[in-house]
Homo-oligomer: A and B are copies of this chain.
Amino acid sequence: MREAYHVELKQLADRLAEMSVQVATAMERATEALLEANLALAEQVISDDAKIDDLRAECEEQAYALLALQAPVATDLRTVLAAIHAAESVERMGDLALHVAKTARRRHPECALPEPVRPYFAEMGELGVKLALRTQEIIKSQDVEAARALEADDDHVDDIHRHLFSVIMDKDWAYGVAAAVDVTLLGRFYERYADHAVSVAKRMIFVATGKMPGYGADEDV
């Protein structure tokens, strides 16, 4: 019984890790679609989102079955509950990549981003992908130090995000209101994507230590 239980738990972690890889790919493609006004890539992210939703549903069903059939306690219980939370956060990361892709599609053949802000999005995109891939590793390794280190990259995303506001609010901003609105929302999507990666890492710390490292609101805009 316990043997079967740990096989199932491993399978659940593998599914979650697979989801993290998929949302990393989604964000990588969505960022390229955004920067290059690449419609085909945007469409691919949009159609692939259903797979992430399906994986999430599978994770949740498996977690529910584990709870109902095995009634785990202590660390095993925390692991299953962390997986349920993580599945929600990672699916949300997929939604945010989807929003980026939809914005790219909406503005095609134009690029949604005026030239001066593109490097910021290229960097936030890279950091986002890195965060999602490190989330995947943490899910597999349950490495508490790696989970704690994740916050540093999130801080970096927050810094870029804050700086973006000073760019669009500057009196020299020459691209008008519509572009500023796009940049505002897109910046928010990247920032929230990174926040969710941190939230998954915090859940993994909770599994390993039994202590939740604080909720708190997302970074101020």
In the assembled complex, which residues on chain B have CB atoms less than 8 Å from the CB atom of A78?
Answer: 64
- Interface size counted on chain A using CB atoms at 8 A: 41
Say if the beta carbon of A152 comes within 8 Å of chain B.
Answer: no
Q: A184 is contacted by which of B49, B185, B215, B220 (Cβ under 8 Å)?
A: B185
Most buried by B among A84, A178, A215, A220: A215
Complex Cα distance A115/B173, Å? Answer: 24
In the assembled complex, which residues on chain B have CB atoms less than 8 Å from the CB atom of A165?
Answer: 181
Say if the beta carbon of A43 comes within 8 Å of chain B.
Answer: no
- Whether the Cβ atoms of A57 and B212 lie closer than 8 Å is yes
**Sampled A-B contacts (15; CB under 8 Å):** A49-B217, A57-B212, A67-B77, A67-B81, A68-B77, A99-B217, A99-B220, A99-B221, A103-B221, A165-B181, A168-B177, A169-B178, A177-B177, A184-B185, A188-B188
Q: Ordered nearest first, which 9 A-B pairs have the shortest CB separation?
A: A71-B71, A95-B217, A177-B180, A184-B184, A181-B184, A169-B178, A68-B73, A53-B215, A185-B221
